[in-house]
Amino acid sequence: MNTSLRKSVVVGIAGLSLAGSAAGCAPGQASGTPDSSAAPPAATGGGSYKDGTYSADGNYVSPNGNETVGVTLTVANGAVSDVQITQHPSNPNTRKFQGEFAGGIKSQIAGKSLDEIKVSKVAGSSLTSGGFNQAVEKIKSEAQA
Protein backbone atom coordinates (compact mmCIF):
# COMPACT_ATOMS: atom_id res chain seq x y z
CA MET A 1 0.00 0.00 0.00
CA ASN A 2 1.53 3.35 -0.96
CA THR A 3 2.09 6.04 1.67
CA SER A 4 -0.54 8.44 0.31
CA LEU A 5 -3.25 5.77 0.25
CA ARG A 6 -2.27 4.56 3.73
CA LYS A 7 -2.57 8.12 5.10
CA SER A 8 -6.00 8.49 3.47
CA VAL A 9 -7.21 5.24 5.01
CA VAL A 10 -5.89 6.18 8.47
CA VAL A 11 -7.43 9.66 8.29
CA GLY A 12 -10.75 8.18 7.13
CA ILE A 13 -10.82 5.64 9.94
CA ALA A 14 -9.89 8.30 12.49
CA GLY A 15 -12.67 10.55 11.18
CA LEU A 16 -15.24 7.77 11.42
CA SER A 17 -14.06 6.95 14.91
CA LEU A 18 -14.36 10.58 15.95
CA ALA A 19 -17.81 10.89 14.35
CA GLY A 20 -18.96 7.76 16.15
CA SER A 21 -17.63 9.06 19.46
CA ALA A 22 -19.30 12.42 19.01
CA ALA A 23 -22.62 10.79 18.15
CA GLY A 24 -22.36 8.67 21.28
CA CYS A 25 -21.80 11.76 23.45
CA ALA A 26 -25.33 13.06 23.15
CA PRO A 27 -27.06 11.73 26.28
CA GLY A 28 -30.57 10.47 25.72
CA GLN A 29 -30.37 11.19 22.00
CA ALA A 30 -31.65 8.14 20.16
CA SER A 31 -31.57 7.85 16.41
CA GLY A 32 -34.08 10.16 14.78
CA THR A 33 -35.45 11.56 18.05
CA PRO A 34 -35.20 15.17 19.14
CA ASP A 35 -33.08 16.19 22.11
CA SER A 36 -35.52 16.85 24.97
CA SER A 37 -33.32 19.65 26.33
CA ALA A 38 -33.75 21.65 23.13
CA ALA A 39 -36.30 24.42 22.81
CA PRO A 40 -39.84 23.09 22.43
CA PRO A 41 -40.89 22.56 18.83
CA ALA A 42 -43.42 24.78 17.15
CA ALA A 43 -46.96 23.49 17.47
CA THR A 44 -48.09 21.31 14.61
CA GLY A 45 -51.20 22.19 12.70
CA GLY A 46 -50.06 25.39 10.97
CA GLY A 47 -46.98 26.26 13.08
CA SER A 48 -44.53 28.89 11.88
CA TYR A 49 -43.85 27.33 8.48
CA LYS A 50 -45.77 27.78 5.24
CA ASP A 51 -47.22 24.69 3.61
CA GLY A 52 -45.49 23.73 0.38
CA THR A 53 -42.71 21.68 -1.14
CA TYR A 54 -39.15 22.81 -0.49
CA SER A 55 -35.79 21.57 -1.75
CA ALA A 56 -32.20 22.08 -0.67
CA ASP A 57 -28.85 20.33 -0.87
CA GLY A 58 -26.76 19.49 2.16
CA ASN A 59 -23.06 18.72 2.27
CA TYR A 60 -21.04 16.41 4.46
CA VAL A 61 -17.62 14.78 4.52
CA SER A 62 -17.15 11.05 4.10
CA PRO A 63 -13.93 9.05 4.03
CA ASN A 64 -14.07 9.54 0.25
CA GLY A 65 -14.27 13.33 0.45
CA ASN A 66 -17.03 15.91 0.17
CA GLU A 67 -20.51 14.57 -0.56
CA THR A 68 -23.88 16.16 -1.33
CA VAL A 69 -27.40 14.89 -0.70
CA GLY A 70 -30.56 16.53 -2.06
CA VAL A 71 -33.61 16.84 0.19
CA THR A 72 -37.18 17.69 -0.84
CA LEU A 73 -39.72 18.07 1.97
CA THR A 74 -43.45 18.61 1.65
CA VAL A 75 -44.97 20.50 4.58
CA ALA A 76 -48.73 20.31 5.16
CA ASN A 77 -50.55 21.67 8.22
CA GLY A 78 -47.23 22.43 9.88
CA ALA A 79 -45.86 18.87 9.58
CA VAL A 80 -43.73 16.96 7.08
CA SER A 81 -46.01 14.88 4.89
CA ASP A 82 -43.44 13.62 2.39
CA VAL A 83 -39.68 13.47 1.87
CA GLN A 84 -37.62 12.68 -1.20
CA ILE A 85 -33.87 12.18 -1.24
CA THR A 86 -31.87 12.93 -4.37
CA GLN A 87 -28.65 11.00 -4.27
CA HIS A 88 -25.43 12.61 -5.49
CA PRO A 89 -22.91 9.83 -4.80
CA SER A 90 -19.28 10.23 -5.72
CA ASN A 91 -18.53 6.51 -5.49
CA PRO A 92 -20.25 3.12 -4.95
CA ASN A 93 -19.84 3.24 -1.17
CA THR A 94 -21.56 6.63 -0.94
CA ARG A 95 -24.29 5.37 -3.30
CA LYS A 96 -24.93 2.47 -0.91
CA PHE A 97 -25.20 4.64 2.21
CA GLN A 98 -27.26 7.39 0.57
CA GLY A 99 -29.59 4.71 -0.80
CA GLU A 100 -30.05 3.14 2.65
CA PHE A 101 -30.65 6.59 4.13
CA ALA A 102 -33.24 7.41 1.43
CA GLY A 103 -35.05 4.15 2.17
CA GLY A 104 -35.31 4.78 5.91
CA ILE A 105 -35.75 8.53 6.39
CA LYS A 106 -39.49 8.88 5.78
CA SER A 107 -40.42 6.69 8.75
CA GLN A 108 -38.15 8.86 10.95
CA ILE A 109 -39.66 12.26 10.09
CA ALA A 110 -43.17 11.88 8.63
CA GLY A 111 -45.72 13.74 10.74
CA LYS A 112 -43.13 15.83 12.61
CA SER A 113 -42.79 19.60 12.46
CA LEU A 114 -39.65 21.00 10.85
CA ASP A 115 -38.41 22.05 14.28
CA GLU A 116 -38.54 18.44 15.48
CA ILE A 117 -36.34 17.09 12.70
CA LYS A 118 -32.71 16.37 13.51
CA VAL A 119 -31.52 12.87 12.70
CA SER A 120 -28.26 11.25 13.68
CA LYS A 121 -28.33 7.81 12.07
CA VAL A 122 -30.82 6.36 9.63
CA ALA A 123 -30.74 2.80 8.28
CA GLY A 124 -27.06 2.39 9.16
CA SER A 125 -26.01 5.66 7.54
CA SER A 126 -24.67 8.22 9.99
CA LEU A 127 -22.65 10.57 7.79
CA THR A 128 -25.48 11.26 5.32
CA SER A 129 -27.48 12.59 8.29
CA GLY A 130 -25.16 15.60 8.51
CA GLY A 131 -25.95 16.64 4.95
CA PHE A 132 -29.65 15.95 5.50
CA ASN A 133 -29.75 18.10 8.65
CA GLN A 134 -27.95 20.91 6.85
CA ALA A 135 -30.52 20.79 4.02
CA VAL A 136 -33.38 20.85 6.57
CA GLU A 137 -31.94 24.03 8.12
CA LYS A 138 -31.94 25.68 4.66
CA ILE A 139 -35.53 24.51 4.09
CA LYS A 140 -36.63 25.91 7.47
CA SER A 141 -35.31 29.34 6.46
CA GLU A 142 -37.14 29.17 3.14
CA ALA A 143 -40.43 27.93 4.67
CA GLN A 144 -40.69 30.57 7.42
CA ALA A 145 -44.19 31.98 7.60
Phi, psi values for residue 81, rounded to 5°: -105, -20
**What are the pLDDT digits (tens) for 24-75?**
333 333 333 333 333 333 333 444 899 999 999 999 999 989 999 999 999 9
Q: Among candidates 35, 46, 29, 60, which has minimal Cα distance to 132? A: 60
The 3-class secondary structure across the chain, one letter per residue, is CCHHHHHHHHHHHHHHHHHHHHHHCCCCCCCCCCCCCCCCCCCCCCCCECCEEEEEEEEEEECCEEEEEEEEEEEECCEEEEEEEEEECCCHHHHHHHHHHHHHHHHHHCCCCHHHCCCCCECCECHHHHHHHHHHHHHHHHHEC
**What are the pLDDT digits (tens) for 92-144?**
999 999 999 999 999 999 999 999 999 999 998 999 999 999 999 999 999 99
Report field, pTM of the whole predicted structure over 0.75: no
